Chains A and B, each alone.
Chain A
């Protein structure tokens, strides 16, 4: 176990920087194993930035790296995101 591991919920502020909406309850489907999980339930590892991993198979789903005054966002392992829309 990595003692510094966090939950996706811990990076809610950064995710909101990226998506401009609260995203921790958004369901993301893993491109590795196909499991759906709320973004807030992913496993977050800290290094130069953050890597959000699938809680089931540990596939890297999202990478967030601040550098050079920008946030570098990668999506190495998300197949789909289910975002609620108001279609009324």
Chain B
């Protein structure tokens, strides 16, 4: 399965919502059980489809935030206030509900333990989700890949997975936070948008030839990818996943 081309068209499946976890005031994690799920690779996403009573359908992509774990997958959704789909996923939906999805899809934005390190992971807002799958898989398999994770959030209360990241850090994983809109008193992390200076400090530098994965709202990804190229990182080693105009 892993690493090989998956033959055949994708089929839509019905997943059961088994649990819902509040992550931040604007974000929730949906724990889904997907009968027949054959596993996924860290960084892949699912296409999710909602159908209204009148037959109107809306389709959106969501990254899988969890490491492979049987037929369970977790999606973390950040609410876009005037959005069509995310307010439902972060509000009304709950355990016992069912949802249509297909996947896993996308082989390009994927990290496998066999790829090794070093890794430079840069996530903005909900863009942390696929990077979290990588960090969780790294921990689950005991990969020694040296990993720097730079997390950009608007404010302290918007930081996803903060406690878990605190526990996972160490043993070759360094987690660095920056808050772009507001900071609590005594905040000692970065306090601005990600820029070239910050990326140079977080490292690893171009000489170490890290695999870079950058994910988040499109303007965020553009800025980070440009800064990485300006620092001398090879464009082919920078993989991007743009979430669109939004993405928290």
With an 8 A cutoff between CB atoms, is B209 at the interface? no
List the A residue with the shortest CB-CB distance to B246.
Answer: A3
| Given contacts A7-B241, A22-B107, A40-B107, A16 and B10 within 8 Å (CB-CB) | yes
With an 8 A cutoff between CB atoms, is B218 at the interface? yes
Least distance between A59 CB and chain B CB atoms (Å) = 18
Give the A-B contact count at a CB cut-off of 8 A. 78
With an 8 A cutoff between CB atoms, is A25 at the interface? yes
Q: Compute how far the CA of A25 lies from the CA of B106 in the bound complex, rounded to whole angstroms.
A: 8
The B4-56 residues at the A interface (CB cut-off 8 A) are 5-10, 45, 47
Contact B105 A13 (CB under 8 A): yes
| Given contacts A16-B9, A20-B7, A7 and B109 within 8 Å (CB-CB) | yes
Q: Compute how far the CA of A8 lies from the CA of B240 in the bound complex, rounded to whole angstroms.
A: 10
Least distance between B133 CB and chain A CB atoms (Å) = 14
| Given contacts A1-B219, A4-B245, A9 and B108 within 8 Å (CB-CB) | yes
Question: Count of A residues near B, CB < 8 Å?
Answer: 24
Residues of B within 8 A of A1 (CB): 218-219, 222
List the B residue with the shortest CB-CB distance to A17.
Answer: B9
Q: Compute how far the CA of A7 lies from the CA of B6 in the bound complex, rounded to whole angstroms.
A: 20
Residues of A within 8 A of B217 (CB): 3
Q: Compute how far the CA of A38 lies from the CA of B235 in the bound complex, rounded to whole angstroms.
A: 12
With an 8 A cutoff between CB atoms, is A5 at the interface? yes
25 contacts between A and B (CB under 8 A): A1-B219, A3-B217, A4-B245, A5-B242, A6-B242, A7-B108, A7-B109, A7-B242, A9-B108, A10-B106, A10-B242, A13-B47, A16-B6, A16-B10, A17-B9, A20-B8, A21-B5, A21-B6, A22-B6, A22-B106, A24-B108, A39-B108, A40-B109, A40-B239, A41-B240
Interface residues of A (CB under 8 A from B): 1-10, 12-13, 16-17, 20-22, 24-25, 38-41, 84
Sorted nearest first, the 9 A-B pairs with minimum C-beta distance are A40-B108, A24-B108, A12-B106, A12-B105, A3-B245, A9-B108, A13-B47, A22-B107, A13-B105
